Amino acid sequence: MSANDEVVITIHGVETLGQWQNEVHPLLTGLPGFFHHPYNYSKFAWWQVALPVFKERAIERFVQMYSSLRDQHPGVVPSVIAHSFGTYVISRALREFGIAIDRVVLCGSIVDRRYDWARLIRRGQVRGIRNEIASKDRLVRMFRSPAMRALVPGSGSSGVDGFSWRLPQLEQHQFGFGHSGYFINRDHCRSAWLPYLRRTETFMTLCTRCQHGPDAGATRLRFDTEYRSTIEEVVRRLSYIRNPTDRQIKEYVAIVRENVVREGALGMLPPTQLIEKHASALERVLRRDL
């Protein structure tokens, strides 16, 4: 294991064993140095959420799993994707056990709208939060009720009403969906979760606009301003290419750039890794064609 590894934990909701975790597993494990660890706390009914024994057991077992993962991946702070009751597990584990999370994705969140993310950020326990709000989530609407929040202390309707705070590290995204259907597929994981976890959202947008839209030409000029010199530097130090002409450099840079733009629009890898990847691929082609 390397300190450059990325680890993501997924946590499901109640009345399910979290089949969606199996759906996204191939994506979350299909990248080099990226590890997915689903957390399954067994299946229980919604009414049991009000009973302390079930809540505490799920939280304690999560913290045990978390500690084991930190031992398996020394120096790596994991990220978390949590749904429904899983969001509550994360909020309690952060507040009461002092765990550290890189980035948190919340779906169908039942966490208190006034949850103190700012305090956790100041302490270095959390680096970023993405709250996905589903406007048609009838289950989370139940937590607007003071009686429901009293049964589950620390709960709330943040999955439909959002968190009350405005913080640079807190993103809140609106979706016109219900409690779970919108994300139980790999498309949402690919287009929303992975770019957020890998911090490639801005680069993905740039690459997408390079290929589509009326401003594609201007966007390519912006891309070149930001990345062409890096691509050229990487191309020039490829071990196979000795004393290349200016024409060759221009040709090789154009090839790498086009491949980086194409794959960058997927948001799976950050720009530095993509540039290295496609420059190495170019070198292999040149060797093969010799």
Residue pLDDT tens, the chain, 290 long: 555 689 999 998 776 667 788 888 988 888 888 899 998 877 666 666 767 778 888 899 999 999 999 999 999 999 999 998 999 999 999 999 999 999 999 999 999 999 999 999 999 999 999 999 988 888 899 999 999 899 889 999 999 999 998 999 999 998 877 776 656 567 888 889 999 999 999 999 999 999 987 889 899 999 999 999 999 999 888 766 667 788 888 999 999 999 999 999 999 899 999 999 999 998 888 877 55
Same domain, 91 and 225: no
Return the pLDDT at 182.
59
Tens-digit pLDDT profile for residues 216-243 = 989 999 999 999 999 999 988 876 666 7
Return the pLDDT at 183.
60
Same domain, 146 and 211: no
33, 21, 141: which is closest to 81 by C-alpha? 21
Domain endpoint, select from 179, 199, 219:
199
Return the pLDDT at 193.
92
CATH number of the domain that residue 156 is part of: 3.40.50.1820
- Total H helices, total E strands in the chain: 13, 6
Domain endpoint, select from 177, 199, 221:
199
Structural contact between residues 135 and 174, judged by C-beta atoms closer than 8 angstroms? yes
Does 147 map to a domain? yes
Two tokens at 125? 């326990």
Domain endpoint, select from 199, 217, 249:
199
State the Cα–Cα distance between residues 159 and 140, nearest whole angstrom: 6
Judged on CB neighbours under 10 Å (0-12, 13-18, 19+), 161 is middle
11, 218, 238: which is closest to 104 by C-alpha? 11
Same domain, 214 and 163: no
Q: Which residues contact 84 (CB under 8 A, 6 or more apart)?
A: 12, 13, 14, 107, 108, 109, 110, 139, 159, 179, 180
Structural contact between residues 256 and 275, judged by C-beta atoms closer than 8 angstroms? yes
Same domain, 214 and 174: no
Same domain, 145 and 219: no
Same domain, 133 and 76: yes
State the Cα–Cα distance between residues 12 and 7, nearest whole angstrom: 17
What is the pTM assigned to this prediction? Answer: 0.87
Q: Which residues contact 119 (CB under 8 A, 6 or more apart)?
A: none
Same domain, 166 and 212: no
What's at 10, amino acid-wise?
A: T
Return the pLDDT at 98.
94
Does 279 map to a domain? yes
Does 1 map to a domain? no
| Structural domain containing residue 277 | 203-289
Structural contact between residues 266 and 190, judged by C-beta atoms closer than 8 angstroms? yes
Same domain, 161 and 261: no
Tens-digit pLDDT profile for residues 175-205 = 877 776 656 567 888 889 999 999 999 999 9
Return the pLDDT at 241.
64
7, 86, 8, 3: which is closest to 44 by C-alpha? 86
| Structural domain count of the chain | 2
Same domain, 170 and 264: no
Same domain, 281 and 208: yes
Same domain, 151 and 258: no
Distances (CA, A) of 164 to 26, 115, 218, 252: 35, 8, 38, 50
State the Cα–Cα distance between residues 43 and 88, nearest whole angstrom: 15
Return the pLDDT at 205.
93
Same domain, 208 and 183: no
State the Cα–Cα distance between residues 215 and 210, nearest whole angstrom: 8
Structural contact between residues 271 and 279, judged by C-beta atoms closer than 8 angstroms? no
